[in-house]
């Protein structure tokens, strides 16, 4: 009898489960070499390799000395706000108390396991391409999730406001059609306007546009130079600056179906993220959110999550046409692993269970 019940339970689980079980996310990063594992004894080596890693992590991971990794990490953590100038940080290659504290804060801010060590997960996150806006600001306002710039700035016009945006006539990329770029940004802006009472309208008047968009290389005059392929992808500034700069050195993509580069970056994902900054949001530790600071090559993240929506609505209020039910319905209706619809219901499950019990006893 017990054996029959076990079989019935397994059959019931298989029938009521979604068509496909959720996909397991597989890391794209090759495990560190043995010489790097001494940074954290728990780091294990692996033979799994990614074709992407050689493009932008090889110089970091192939360092011959532990001290090189520590020095590179200090520079990174200072660049993005974890080692602040008032701490009088010594930029040497020693694993000191200030660095350990910064590592803990970095791990917490990125939803990582908090170890205080430069373990593999932490180093992989450090080397993931990301937004150029700092993660930590001394007077950050906000919750442990969505956060704001100091002073909680926002666009101060009366609701329902409309902000204009324009593309630089001089600083654009030529391998993507302008019509494709315009379409990408129109979709990105519309995602935000669908949840708040703020509209966006493209204009050809670049000089007087509220938001100015351009692709720039290296030092471009805003004290935030770009670093070439990968690394920092883009940056924008708090309200009401309206400056939106993308690194022209990246391989930007609007369609991964036709773009074959292994280091291509999804333009729409980055556009959606940077618009969040223009509206007043900073980074969140919620990995699924649009406002999470990093984006891997060939990764696409364009759908606003609850954390993004709650953060921006706290600044501007809600679009009268938006309901949380619409967000929940879109999440429940689709198995995002393979985009198959989930059709099982409570009544269907009861029917199946009764059928199995009948088969069991007759």
Structural domain includes residue 3? no
**The total number of structural domains that make up the chain:** 2
Nearest to 203 by CA among 194, 213, 193, 190: 213
Q: What is the pLDDT at residue 339?
A: 39
Helices 267-279 and 306-316: crossing angle in degrees, nearest 10, is: 30
- Contacts with 40 (C-beta within 8 Å, 6 or more apart), sequence order: 115, 117, 118, 119, 120
- Residue 228 annotated as binding site: yes
Tell whether 277 is in a known binding site: yes
Q: What is the pLDDT of residues 210-262, one digit of tens each?
A: 999 999 999 998 988 999 999 999 999 999 999 999 999 999 999 999 999 99
Cα–Cα distance for residue pair 18/38, rounded to 1 Å: 43
**What DSSP assignment string belongs to 197-235?**
SEEEEE-S-TTT-SEEEEEE-S--SSS----SSSSEEEE
Same domain, 189 and 255: yes
Q: Is residue 228 part of a domain?
A: yes
| Structural domain span for residue 219 | 147-323
Residue 34 inside a domain? The answer is no
**Is 354 a domain residue?**
no
Tell whether 160 is in a known binding site: no
* 105 lies in the same domain as 151: no
pTM of the model: 0.73
- 199 & 104 share domain: no
Q: Does the residue 351 lie in any domain?
A: no
- Residue 297 and residue 201 share a domain: yes
Same domain for 157 and 239, yes or no, is: yes
Q: How far is CA 264 from CA 31, 56, 230, in A?
A: 22, 12, 9
Tell me: do 204 and 295 sit in the same domain.
yes
pLDDT for the residue 22: 36
**Is residue 296 included in any domain, yes or no?**
yes
For the chain, 362 residues long, give each residue's pLDDT as a single digit of tens.
Answer: 555 545 555 444 444 444 333 333 333 333 333 333 334 443 333 322 233 333 334 445 445 466 678 888 888 998 999 987 655 555 556 667 888 999 999 999 999 999 999 999 999 999 999 999 998 654 445 456 899 999 999 999 988 999 999 999 999 999 999 999 999 999 999 999 999 999 999 999 999 999 999 999 999 989 889 999 999 999 999 999 999 999 999 999 999 999 999 999 999 999 999 999 999 999 999 999 999 999 999 999 999 999 999 999 999 999 999 987 767 655 544 334 333 333 334 444 555 455 555 555 55
Does 28 participate in catalysis according to the annotation? no
- pLDDT for the residue numbered 85: 66
**233: CATH:** 3.40.390.10
| 339 labeled binding residue | no
CA distance 115 to 231: 24
Question: What pLDDT does residue 212 have?
Answer: 98
111 shares its domain with 153: no
Q: Is residue 71 part of a domain?
A: yes
Point out the catalytic residue in the list 274, 288, 299, 329: 274
With respect to residue 7, please indicate whether it lies within any of the assigned structural domains.
Answer: no
Does 235 count as an annotated binding residue?
yes
Tell me: is residue 250 an annotated ligand-binding position.
Answer: yes
CB 129 within 8 A of CB 295: yes
**300 and 249 in a common domain:** yes
Same domain membership, residue 123 and residue 180: no
* 200 and 276 part of one domain: yes
247 is in an annotated binding site: yes
250 and 285 inside one domain? yes
The annotation status of 273 as a binding-site residue, yes or no, is: yes
Q: Strand runs (DSSP E) across 47-153, as ranges?
A: 130-131, 141-142, 147-148
């Amino acid at each position: 009898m017990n054996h029959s019940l076990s079989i019935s339970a397994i059959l019931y689980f298989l029938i009521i489960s979604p068509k496909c079980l959720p996909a397991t996310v597989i890391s794209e990063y090759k495990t560190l070499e043995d010489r790097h594992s001494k940074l954290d004894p728990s780091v294990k080596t692996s033979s799994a390799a990614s074709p992407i890693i050689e493009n932008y992590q090889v110089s970091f991971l192939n360092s011959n000395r532990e001290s090189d990794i520590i020095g590179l990490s200090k520079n990174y953590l200072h660049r993005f706000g974890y080692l602040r100038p008032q701490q009088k940080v010594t930029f040497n290659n020693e694993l000191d108390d200030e660095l350990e504290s910064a590592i803990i804060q970095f791990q917490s801010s990125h939803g990582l396991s908090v170890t205080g060590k430069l373990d593999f997960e932490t180093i992989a996150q450090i080397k993931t391409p990301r937004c150029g806006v700092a993660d930590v600001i001394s007077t950050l306002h906000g919750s442990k999730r969505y956060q704001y710039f100091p002073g909680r700035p926002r666009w101060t016009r009366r609701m329902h406001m409309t902000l204009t945006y324009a593309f630089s006539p001089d600083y654009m990329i030529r391998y993507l059609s302008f019509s494709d770029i315009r379409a990408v940004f129109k979709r990105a802006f519309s995602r935000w306007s669908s949840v708040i009472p703020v509209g966006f309208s493209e204009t050809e008047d670049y000089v007087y546009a509220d938001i100015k968009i351009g692709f720039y290389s290296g030092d471009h005059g805003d004290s935030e130079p770009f670093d070439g392929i990968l690394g920092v992808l883009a940056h924008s500034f708090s309200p009401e600056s309206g400056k939106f700069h993308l690194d022209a050195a990246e391989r930007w993509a609007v369609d991964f179906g036709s773009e074959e580069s292994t280091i291509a970056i999804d333009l729409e994902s980055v556009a959606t993220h940077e618009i969040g900054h223009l509206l007043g949001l900073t980074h969140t530790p919620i990995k699924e959110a649009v406002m999470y600071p990093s984006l891997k090559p060939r990764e696409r993240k364009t759908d606003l999550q609850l954390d993004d929506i709650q953060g921006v609505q706290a600044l501007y209020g809600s679009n009268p046409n938006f309901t949380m039910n619409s967000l929940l319905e879109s999440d429940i209706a689709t198995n995002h692993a393979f985009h198959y619809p989930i059709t099982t219901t409570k009544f269907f499950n009861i029917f199946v269970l009764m059928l199995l019990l009948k088969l069991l006893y007759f």
